[in-house]
Structures are given as structure tokens and as C-alpha cells.
Amino acid sequence: MAVAGTTPDSVTLRAEGGVARRQAWSRASRYILLVATLLGLVVLVILGIDNAIVGIPSLDWDFLSNYPSRFAERAGIRSSILGSVWVLVFTVIFAIPVAVGAAVWMEEFAPQNGILTTVRLNIANLAGVPSIIYGILGLAVFVRLMELGPSILAGALTLALMILPMTVITSVEAINQVPPSIREGSLALGATRWQTVWNHVLPGAMPGIMTGTILAVARAAGETAALIMIGAFTFIAFDPSLSFHGLLDSFTTLPIQVYNWTIRPQPEFRANAAAGIIVLMIAVIGLNALALVVRDRLRRN
């Protein structure tokens, strides 16, 4: 029914008045929200550019191969790179078997009762414990009680406990994604439950476990507070020795060295800190990218 007395000459679909305003707001909101989403990344880009400008002039072979020094232009990151690598290698050796073992038990063997629920909740809570608390734990248990001192071994054990919860969680997820039909097929052919886990479940879960491991290593590689707590804020001008006894040597790591240069009052150390940050960021971003690649490649196979 036409409205009395008026006949519109043309019908238009364009909204008017309040509706048009609401639509305009909605269209604009897309860009406002996008800008807000990108703002954090903009800060990261500025951070990268700032450190590149300040740090790249100092970033040469001497910087990589020199020991730290009280003269900024002679100081380098040799002992901190070696320390980082050495501590991380042992962190992985300690953490990964335990994390995968715990995840296998939780997913494949644990009785479905209160014990399993307790273990699950416990791990979820441990994942939220601040790293400095793991540092206190390492100080009291590994450094003092077990008398390891602020050594590579104590540092690796502390970091291993710190990354354990997140590694267990990612391993549990990876094992969970192996289809039950694979287990049933193996069991139907007469394999024991352990043979099934070892030959079929773990290989299937490997991409997820490796991705989680690499991300955990990236986190441990950037950790500073926990290692300072155990007493690793020291001046190291020697290479860690590649012996069992070398595990009891004191050490420094790249983030600790960056911290050291950051809090020095002399401005000439600022370039060293920035150059150290560039190396650290390349390592961390590289590990994150590697995790993505490993996940994609192994998933495709």
C-alpha cells in the first residue's frame, strides 16, 4: 500500500538518517580496529630500526669473537654466545625426555582418575609461575642444596624446570592429535601398548613435539631473570670447557650480557647492547620461524 497522497518517483536502496550513520560507523570501524591491531607491531618495528641504527656499526667479527671488556669498543659476546648455546643444549637434554615421558604417561597410560586431573591442573599452574620464582627454586635447590654453584649445570636444570610445563602441554596436544585408529591398528596386530606408543604414536606426534620444543628453546634463550637469580651475573672471559667437569664452570648468556650493557651508565656501551640485541633477536625470530617451518613440513609428510 502506498502512503496516502505520495508516489515515490524512484526507489533507492541507500540507507538514510540513523541507518546511514550506523553503517558509516561500521565501515570506519574496520580501519580503526586494524590500526589498533597493528600498533603493537609498529612498536616492534621501531624497536628493530632503533637497535639497527645504534647497533649495526659495532656488529663485526671482533664483536662476535671478543670476550667482554670494560672498554666498550673491545667488548664482545664470545663467552655469552658459547654460554647460551651450552646451557640451552643441556636444558633441552634435561627437559625434553621428561616432558615427553610425562605427556605419554598422561595421554596413553594414566588411570582416568583424580591423579591425572591433579597432574593436569598442576602443570597448567606451573606454566603460569613467573620465571623469577624458578630462579629462586634453582638458587635454593641446585646452587645451594646440591652445591652446584652458579654453574652451567645449575642454569640448565633451572631453565629445564621452567620450560617443562609448556613442553608437556604442547606434547600432550601433539599426542592427542594422533588418530586413535593408528593405535587400534597396532594393538590389533598384537603390539604391546608400549610398542604402539614407541613405533606409531610418538612418530605421529613428532612434528608437534618438535615445534613445541623449538618454541620452548626460544623462550629459554631469552630468559634473564631466572639466571640472574641463580647468580649468573658474572664476568666471564674464558670458553666453557667441553668436558664433564666443564659443566660446573660458571657462565654468562647473551641476554645477561645485554642486561649488563643496558644498565651501565657509560653511553658508549649502548651500541654494544644494541648489537647484542640484534644477535639475540635474529636467534629468537629464527627459532620461531624454524618452528613454523618444521610444523608445516612434517605435517605435509
Say whether residue 66 binds other proteins (CB under 8 A). no
Shortest separation between residue 64's beta carbon and other proteins, angstroms:
18
Say whether residue 284 binds other proteins (CB under 8 A). yes
- Nearer Cβ to other proteins (246/290): 290
Instruction: Of 244, 212, 200, 251, give the one whose Cα is nearest residue 228.
Output: 251
- Nearer Cβ to other proteins (73/184): 184
SS3 250: strand
Say whether residue 85 binds other proteins (CB under 8 A). no
The partner residues of 250 in beta bridges, in order of sequence, read 151
Shortest separation between residue 253's beta carbon and other proteins, angstroms:
10
Contact between residue 270 and residue 44 where contact means Cβ atoms under 8 Å apart: no
Contact between residue 116 and residue 110 where contact means Cβ atoms under 8 Å apart: yes
Residue 2: half-sphere exposure toward Cβ, Cα within 13 Å = 7
Contact between residue 211 and residue 294 where contact means Cβ atoms under 8 Å apart: yes
Instruction: Out of 52, 72, 85, 98, point to the residue binding other proteins (CB under 8 A).
Output: 98
Shortest separation between residue 243's beta carbon and other proteins, angstroms:
27
Say whether residue 51 binds other proteins (CB under 8 A). yes
Phi and psi (nearest 5°) for 250?
-80, 165
Element counts in the chain: helices (H) and strands (E): 12, 0
Per CB under 8 A, which of residues 118..157 are in contact with other proteins?
Answer: 118-119, 121-126, 128-137, 139-141, 144
Per CB under 8 A, which of residues 195..234 are in contact with other proteins?
Answer: 195, 215, 218-219, 221-225, 228-229, 231, 233
Instruction: Of 169, 19, 152, give the one whose Cα is nearest residue 99.
Output: 169
Shortest separation between residue 219's beta carbon and other proteins, angstroms:
7
Say whether residue 23 binds other proteins (CB under 8 A). yes
> Residue 115 CA to chain centroid, in angstroms?
29
Instruction: Out of 26, 113, 266, 301, point to the residue binding other proteins (CB under 8 A).
Output: 26
CA angle 132–218–144, rounded 5-degree value? 35
Shortest separation between residue 294's beta carbon and other proteins, angstroms:
14
CA angle 36–37–41, rounded 5-degree value? 105
SS3 151: strand
Shortest separation between residue 85's beta carbon and other proteins, angstroms:
16
Say whether residue 282 binds other proteins (CB under 8 A). no
Say whether residue 87 binds other proteins (CB under 8 A). no
Per CB under 8 A, which of residues 262..281 are in contact with other proteins?
Answer: 262-263, 270, 273-274, 277, 280-281
Q: Which residues have C-beta within 8 Å of that of residue 95, sequence separation ≥ 6?
A: 159, 160, 161, 163, 164, 167, 216
Say whether residue 161 binds other proteins (CB under 8 A). yes
Say whether residue 180 binds other proteins (CB under 8 A). yes
Say whether residue 92 binds other proteins (CB under 8 A). no
- Residues in contact with other proteins, counted by CB under 8 A, come to a total of 94
| Segment holding 52, helix H or strand E | helix 17-55
Say whether residue 40 binds other proteins (CB under 8 A). yes
- Nearer Cβ to other proteins (152/274): 274
Say whether residue 172 binds other proteins (CB under 8 A). no
Say whether residue 32 binds other proteins (CB under 8 A). yes
